[in-house]
């Protein structure tokens, strides 16, 4: 099993790099943002619970997120490992993930954190909003709120993994393939 957390602020390129990493290492992609958007499209109860938080750029409550991740991990019985994308976003989620991995007889191997400055992130998100129609990517004020939420609630998660030597910072600006190489060099040096 290889279990990786791909970490970083909104717009850091987690989704793009996850798609490439799952192919190379034969992993299961678990993006909580994608799962919520799927629930919203399907009109499920969970989607209704998540939508107002997402539209405002705030975090969905931990209990809702953790329950959804547990279900997904437990259903993927044949998986060779996971790339967690956009999760965990709070220390409570990180603790729940560690417990879940332990129950599964595995562990988080590393957190790869994509480092990108906020002006570049803002540019990328507004551009993505034009293409995808994502409401939370279209309004600079909502985007700034997501950066604030990231800085206040999510960055402590990096410290949580840093404490056990599992955090690796990766320069997230420049050519997509070059960033991918930086990620794979880091992974291959550890596994
Ligand atoms: P993302 O696609 O990762 O940018 O997530 C979009 C939105 O979904 C976020 O702004 C949050 O409202 C919600 N969300 C996604 N993942 C989480 C999480 N792990 N914890 C809380 N809220 C989340």
The average pLDDT across 129-145 equals 93
Q: Which of 92-96, 127-131, 133-137, 155-159 comes out lowest in average pLDDT?
A: 133-137
Q: Beta strands of the chain (E only): which ranges?
A: 4-7, 28-31, 82-85, 110-115, 167-171
The tens digit of pLDDT for each residue in 29-66 reads: 999 999 999 999 999 999 999 999 999 999 999 999 99
pLDDT band for position 169 (cuts 50, 70, 90):
very high
* For residue 60, cis peptide bond before it (omega within 30 degrees of 0): no
- Is 14 noted as a catalytic residue in this protein? yes
Ligand 1 atom closest to Cα of 31? 3
Q: How many CA atoms lie within 13 A of 184 on its CB side?
A: 15
Nearest CA to ligand 1 atom 9: 54
pLDDT over 90 at 7, yes or no: yes
Annotated catalytic residue within 24, 74, 89, 182: 89
pLDDT on residue 127: 96
Q: How confident is the model at residue 135 (pLDDT cuts 50, 70, 90)?
A: confident
57 Cα nearest atom in ligand 1? 10
Distance CA 71, CA 19 (A): 21
The chain-wide mean pLDDT, for the chain, equals 96
- Give residues (CB < 6 A) around ligand 1: 10, 32-33, 36, 53-54, 57-60, 65, 86-87, 89, 93, 136, 146
Asked if residue 39 lies in contact with residue 147, where contact means CB atoms within 8 angstroms, the answer is: no
With contact defined as beta carbons under 8 Å apart, do 92 and 62 qualify?
Answer: yes
């Amino acid at each position: 099993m290889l279990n990786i957390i791909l970490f970083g602020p909104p717009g850091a390129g987690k989704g793009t790099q996850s798609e490439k990493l799952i192919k190379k290492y034969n992993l299961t992609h678990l993006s909580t943002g994608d799962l919520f958007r799927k629930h919203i499209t399907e009109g499920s109860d969970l989607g209704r619970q998540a939508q107002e938080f997402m539209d405002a750029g705030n975090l969905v409550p931990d209990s809702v997120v953790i329950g959804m991740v547990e279900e997904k991990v437990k259903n993927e019985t044949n998986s060779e490992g996971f790339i967690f994308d956009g999760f965990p976003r709070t220390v409570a989620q990180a603790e729940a993930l560690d417990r879940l991995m332990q129950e599964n007889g595995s562990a988080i191997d590393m957190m790869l954190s994509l480092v990108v400055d906020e002006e570049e992130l803002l540019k990328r998100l507004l551009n993505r909003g034009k293409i995808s129609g994502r409401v939370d990517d279209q309004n600079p004020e909502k985007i700034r709120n997501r950066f604030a939420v990231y800085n206040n609630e999510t960055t402590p998660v990096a410290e949580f993994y840093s404490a056990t030597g599992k955090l690796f910072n990766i320069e997230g600006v420049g050519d997509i393939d070059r960033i991918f190489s930086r990620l794979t060099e880091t992974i291959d040096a550890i596994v």
